[in-house]
């Protein structure tokens, strides 16, 4: 799992929940699944699909 934290105006103590929600809402329009996490919901988790390729033997 990979995550990023969004903050406001360069202040590490200020969570940017509004921007986080806008990014998540826009990502679903493009087929990308993102989840908000953290106490302030200002972190985005990237869920990478695990795919297994099957070969005929």
> What range does the domain containing 9 cover?
2-46
The answer to whether residue 18 sits within a structural domain is yes
The answer to whether residue 55 sits within a structural domain is no
The answer to whether residue 51 sits within a structural domain is no
pLDDT of 5: 95
pLDDT of 31: 85
The answer to whether residue 54 sits within a structural domain is no
pLDDT of 28: 87
Spatial distance between the Cα atoms of 53 and 24, rounded to a whole number of angstroms: 29
The answer to whether residue 56 sits within a structural domain is no
Give pLDDT tens digits along the chain (57 positions).
Answer: 789 999 998 888 899 999 999 999 999 898 888 899 999 999 999 877 666 665 654
Number of domains in the chain: 1
- 9-20 burial, b at 16+ Cβ within 10 Å, e below that, comes to eeeeeebbbeeb
Spatial distance between the Cα atoms of 45 and 52, rounded to a whole number of angstroms: 22
- pTM equals 0.73
The answer to whether residue 52 sits within a structural domain is no
The answer to whether residue 57 sits within a structural domain is no
The answer to whether residue 34 sits within a structural domain is yes
């Amino acid at each position: 799992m990979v995550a990023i934290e969004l903050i406001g105006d360069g202040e590490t103590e200020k969570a940017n929940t509004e921007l986080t929600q806008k990014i998540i809402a826009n990502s679903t329009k493009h087929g990308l699944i993102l989840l908000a996490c953290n106490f302030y919901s200002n972190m985005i988790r990237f869920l990478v699909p695990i795919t297994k390729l099957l070969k005929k033997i």
